[in-house]
Amino acid sequence: MSTDGKMWGGRFAGGLDPRFAAFQDSTEHDLVLAFADLDTNLAWSEALCSAGVVTEDELERIAAAIGELAAEWHENGIPDSEAEDVHGLIEQQLVARLGDLGKRIHTGRSRNDQVATDLRLHLRECAGLLVESIEGLCLSLVEKAAAHAADPMPGYTHLQRAQPITIGHHALAYVEMLARDRERLLDATARMDQCPLGSGALAGTAFAIDRDALAARLAFHGGATRNSLDATASRDHLCELLFASAMAMTHLSRLCEDYVFFASHEAAFLSFGDAVATGSSLMPQKRNPDAMELVRGKAAQVQGALQSLLALLKGLPLGYNRDLQHDKELVLPALEATHECLLVAATAVDHAHFDTARCRAEAGKGYLNATDLADLLVAAGVPFRDAHEVVGRAVNRAVELGVELHELPEDEQRTLLPQLDGELAQRLAVDAVLQRRDVLGGTAPERVAAEVKRWRILLAEWAEGYHELDDLDPDVDVPALEEEHG
């Protein structure tokens, strides 16, 4: 390094303006890559040894210094430094321990391929945490569905009451969404699973580095990147991870919106336990669903990070540009926010208590069985479009009388629905309406229970490391995962 400690300072005699020096310093944002950078320094040193640039004895000294540094940082934390980035910090530390040998480690390497590799290693860990936290939230929702597989509640379209569903069916809808988010994360992780190290600044290294062996050493299953210019300049893998996170946060935000509405006095379908609710500093009666509101708000941060990264990349010429230094300050906080929100959402779901009696009562109000009445007319031989019109008139009459469809007086039934033979109360009861939806993907309690069993099997497979949505046997007896895995 130059006398002023800069990795690039050989041509420069003067120092940086203090304001610009602070402005261009990235240590605050890339310090999280420190341990990944230690790994890449050791792997690169091993590759240099294989290429004859350093000796076996020198490699032993380098490995010992890196091991000591990692142990110290794990125990005491990473010290403050005047270095402009994490790579400079580590080089300073290694030079202090190894002298000139520490200066040789950067042979044939650029900070461009170094940071690209560090970032992929770190993002691989971040994606793994996100997958685990998605699985945790799925488990909470599956167990909520198991507890309420047969409990009715109103279903909505346009935020207007539409048809009865079960609480369990509602919970499993979000499991389906989150499972797709999980697959997107795994897919994005697999696509970025290539090693840029050895690409140099843009043209590749001039030393005889076995890049495939280097990729294997750092556990990149996709091998080495195939174009050095692309490897150091591209950040689409960050965009993919951010999109997967933004999509997951969008799904979380919708779940939060549902639960906030369900907890309102107007709906009163559920209440939150003390662990995830707060009160008002002024109004003593308030019980606010703050956990869900905060998660809903965080979705904006993650979505904004994705848009900012896309805008950052769109005008860059090919090759590394210093603009890319900003990628970490956009991506890493967004991934951390997503992880935290998934954990908090799971806790909030666990502490959400449904008033099943009220949910059942409300599922029988508001003419939610109108479609079923039309279906009964179709079964009696009335074309559906005609049946739709007949039921519309019946609803209008029920509104005039202040009753539900199944409460229409017998004389009104004979006048409005002459094709039917009465007994609407039983045939239009909430449980009967639910039971008719006994099809794959339907809300019938038996179908919801079967999906719960299927998801428990799948969650167990995920826990064992399987990633594919295989054909599952819903008749296999699998205990609740919360009992089996704690």
Query: Any idea which residues carry the catalytic annotation?
Result: 158, 280
Token representation of residue 293: 């509101």
Nearest to 86 by CA among 115, 53, 61: 115
Token representation of residue 216: 């294997």
Nearest to 154 by CA among 384, 360, 337: 360
Using DSSP's 3-state secondary structure scheme, residue 99 falls into: coil
Interacting residues of 218 by C-beta distance below 8 A, sequence separation 6+: 39, 40, 43, 117, 121, 195, 197
CA 56/CA 46 separation, integer angstroms: 9
DSSP codes joined into one string, 299-360: HHHHHHHHHHHHHHHHTPPSS--GGGGGHHHHHHHHHHHHHHHHHHHHHHHHTEEE-HHHHH
Nearest to 154 by CA among 388, 395, 430: 430
Interacting residues of 109 by C-beta distance below 8 A, sequence separation 6+: 44, 197, 198, 200, 205
CB-based contact 297:209 (threshold 8 Å): no
b/e map 232-267, b = 16+ CB within 10 Å: bbbbebbbbbbbbbbbbbebbbebbebbbbbbeeeb
CA 419/CA 414 separation, integer angstroms: 8
AA letter at 374? A
Q: Show the 3-state SS of 390-450.
A: HHHHHHHHHHHHCCCHHHCCHHHHHHHCCCCCCCHHHHCCHHHHHHCCCCCCCCCHHHHHH
Interacting residues of 309 by C-beta distance below 8 A, sequence separation 6+: 235, 238, 239, 242, 327, 330, 331
Say which DSSP state 274 is in.
G
User: Which element (helix H / strand E) includes 154?
Assistant: strand 152-157
CB-based contact 59:52 (threshold 8 Å): no
Using DSSP's 3-state secondary structure scheme, residue 156 falls into: strand
